[in-house]
A and B are shown apart, each in its own frame.
Chain A
Amino acid sequence: DQQVKQNSPSLSVQEGRISILNCDYTNSMFDYFLWYKKYPAEGPTFLISISSIKDKNEDGRFTVFLNKSAKHLSLHIVPSQPGDSAVYFCAASEGRGGSEKLVFGKGTKLTVNP
């Protein structure tokens, strides 16, 4: 049973517009969420995280929103740039210092067109 779901395998947006990547989870014990970005032939790199005590975390062009009641989070990129084209993974754990397991979604491939 997949505990972290990214239901859109791909997303295509125009440069300058907003990209919204979605993630749903089923395990109510998850309370720490991370987004990773992955380019081909490279390992993933950390992008942004959010703890369940918050509903929003912002870092430059990247904002993550968390809706605990809906068990849903989203990553907003605005404005989108061609260099943002990559695969984005949502991941969840049972909190800092809790379970050390990290569960990933299947990823969403974002393409930003010039």
Chain B
Amino acid sequence: EAQVTQNPRYLITVTGKKLTVTCSQNMNHEYMSWYRQDPGLGLRQIYYSMNVEVTDKGDVPEGYKVSRKEKRNFPLILESPSPNQTSLYFCASSLWAGGLETQYFGPGTRLLVL
């Protein structure tokens, strides 16, 4: 079954404690992306990756890091989380950057930073 998986689905942490949210896809997609969804703000792109070892900033990259060492994985790293990073996070992948209509989203990771 084609899918994008994220772990963990729910996470409560404290300010400053480094965390990683994993994202994996099984469709051999080239393009992967991270979004956050906040009430009243909709979805905002954090980082995206065109392919292995190719990443670039979206609209709200501050406070986040990503890496793309393998095609299937695109982890989101919060080196020093702060309360304003409390949000619902979605990972997504598509066949290629120009094929956004093929974009599959993961189920989401709800993060609370105290």
Contact = CB atoms under 8 A, between A and B. Distances in A.
A44 B43 contact: yes
Given A89-B43, A93-B100, A104-B42, A42 B107 contact: yes
Given A43-B106, A46-B102, A97-B97, A106 B42 contact: yes
Contacts of A107: 42-43
B4 interface: yes
Find the residue from A32, A34, A89, A96 having the highest chain B CB count within 10 A: A96
Interface residues of B, number: 29
Contacts, number: 64
Task: Categorize the interface residue count of chain A.
Answer: 20 to 34
Interface in A17-69: 32, 34, 41-46, 49
B105 interface: yes
Interface of B: 4, 31, 33, 35, 40-45, 48, 50, 56, 58-59, 90, 92, 97-108
Given A43-B90, A43-B92, 20 more contacts: A6-B42, A32-B100, A43-B104, A43-B105, A43-B106, A44-B90, A46-B100, A46-B102, A89-B42, A91-B100, A93-B100, A96-B99, A97-B98, A101-B58, A101-B59, A102-B48, A103-B45, A104-B42, A104-B44, A106-B42
